[in-house]
């Protein structure tokens, strides 16, 4: 497939700065190198995060992680532990971490439009105490992702205000899209299983394979 080209692509930092300008001093100064009490509180209330990774070639992936508030554990001001719950077994995030440990995290709290961004180096860890620490409903994760924090900063709410993400009046009816099974069935060219089998597999996963 041919790569689309554009006539006014920005290719350098100096050129970019001419367009977007320089950051305000507070935007730079707010970045900290270790978690503080505000970060602790934010993570304790957060039931959801996005984790961005890339492999050795720079191919990127962003994966959602969600659970009860505080499911990410803070061991100290530079160490986080994220449980790896049952999923689709693709292991995109985990494989990327093995090839390139640099990760970016975005913590989100329902109803709060500010977010917390944390960047650092990740490892895949199976220490028994961490598996016990992140157990839920009597079930331990198969492994954990630990993150050594290198930088953290709070992010303003502009994107949430523009998107109205937490606004109940802006919610889209589920019937606006085909079911997940229908879309995945189309993407797989209907070769793996029937639509009914896929609908049942997804339904059973929500009912019996969350943990």
**What predicted TM-score, i.e. pTM, was given to this entire model?**
0.94
CA distances from 131 to 13, 98, 173, 208 (A): 43, 19, 38, 20
pLDDT, tens digit, 9 for 90 and up, residues 71-100: 999 999 999 999 999 989 999 999 999 999
Pick the closest to residue 106 from 120, 96, 94, 88 (CA basis). Answer: 120
Let me know whether 144 and 50 are in one domain: yes
Let me know whether 147 and 202 are in one domain: no
Pick the closest to residue 115 from 105, 129, 123 (CA basis). Answer: 105
- Report how far apart the first and last C-alpha atoms of the chain are (Å, whole number): 40
3-state percent helix, strand, coil for the chain, nearest multiple of 5: 35, 30, 35
pLDDT, tens digit, 9 for 90 and up, residues 32-76: 999 999 999 999 999 999 999 999 999 999 999 999 999 999 999
Let me know whether 177 and 144 are in one domain: no
Count the neighbouring beta carbons within 10 Å of the beta carbon of residue 86: 13
Q: pLDDT class for 189, splitting at 50, 70, 90?
A: confident
Let me know whether 104 and 186 are in one domain: no
pLDDT, tens digit, 9 for 90 and up, residues 168-180: 999 999 999 999 9
Determine the structural domain holding residue 188 and report its residue range: 172-208
Let me know whether 199 and 97 are in one domain: no
CA distances from 189 to 102, 183, 186, 196, 202 (A): 34, 10, 5, 15, 18
pLDDT in the model for residue 2? 83
| Total domain count, the chain | 2
Let me know whether 200 and 134 are in one domain: no
DSSP H stretches of helix in 121-194 = 128-133, 158-163, 180-187
């Amino acid at each position: 497939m041919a790569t689309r080209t554009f006539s006014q692509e920005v290719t350098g930092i100096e050129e970019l700065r001419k367009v977007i300008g320089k950051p305000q001093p507070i935007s730079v100064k707010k970045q900290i190198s270790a978690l503080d009490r505000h970060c602790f509180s934010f993570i304790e209330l957060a039931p959801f995060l996005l984790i961005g990774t890339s492999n050795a070639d720079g191919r990127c992936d962003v994966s959602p992680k969600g659970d009860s508030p505080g499911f990410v554990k803070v061991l100290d001001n530079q160490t986080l532990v994220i449980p790896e719950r049952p999923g689709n077994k693709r292991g995109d995030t985990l494989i990327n971490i093995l090839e390139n440990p640099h990760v970016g995290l975005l913590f989100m709290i329902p109803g709060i439009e500010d977010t917390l961004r944390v960047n650092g180096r990740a490892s895949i860890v199976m220490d028994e105490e961490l598996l016990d620490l992140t157990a839920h409903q009597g079930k331990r994760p198969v492994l954990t992702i630990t993150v050594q924090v290198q930088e953290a900063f709070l992010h303003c709410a502009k994107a949430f205000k523009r998107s109205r993400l937490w606004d109940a009046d802006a919610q889209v009816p589920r019937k606006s899209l085909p079911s997940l099974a229908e879309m995945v069935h189309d993407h797989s060219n209907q070769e793996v299983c029937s639509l009914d089998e896929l609908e049942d597999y997804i339904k059973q996963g929500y009912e019996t394979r969350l943990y």
